[in-house]
Structure 1
C-alpha cells in the first residue's frame, strides 16, 4: 500500500510542477523589456496608484464603469508586457493532499 501511495504522490508532483517548469523555460527565452516598455509599465503603475487614491463615493455609476474598464485594459497590457509564472489552485490542492497522505 505504501508503494502505491509513494508512486501516486510522485506522479502528482510531476503533474503539478510540469507546467511550472515549462513556463520557466519559456520565460528565459523571452527578451528583456525595452526602455519604452519599461516606461509604459511605470506609467501603468502610476495610474493604478492614482485610481487607488480616488474617492469612488463621489463618482457617478458611468464614471466608475469607465475607471473599471480602464483598469481591466491596463491589467491586460501589463500582463502582456510583464509575463510571469503562476501556480494554479489545483496544483496547490494536489500538493497539500499529497503531503497529508504521506505524513
Structure 2
C-alpha cells in the first residue's frame, strides 16, 4: 500500500511536469532578435567600461572623476538589466520542493 501511494505520487508529479517541458521547448523568433540586440548593446557597454579603466585619471579633477564613477555605476546597472537572470515560476518551485521532500 505504501508503494502504491508513492507510485501514484510520482505519476502525478510527472504528469504535472510534462506540460512545462513541452512549453519550454518552443522557441520564439522575436526572442532571438532581442538577444542579439541585447548582446550588441552589452558589448558596447563593456567596451566603454574598458576605456574608462584604461584612462589616466591622475590629471583629472575631482568633478571629472565623480562623473566617471557615476557613469560606471550606470553602465553596470544597465548591464545587469541586459544580462537578465534565471526566473522560476511558482509551479517549478512547487515541483522542486516536492522532489526534495520525496528524495530526502
TM-score, length-scaled by structure 2: 0.44
Question: Who wins on radius of gyration, i.e. which is larger?
Answer: 2
Q: Of the two structures, which has the highest relative contact order with CA contacts closer than 8 Å and spacing of 6 or more?
A: 1
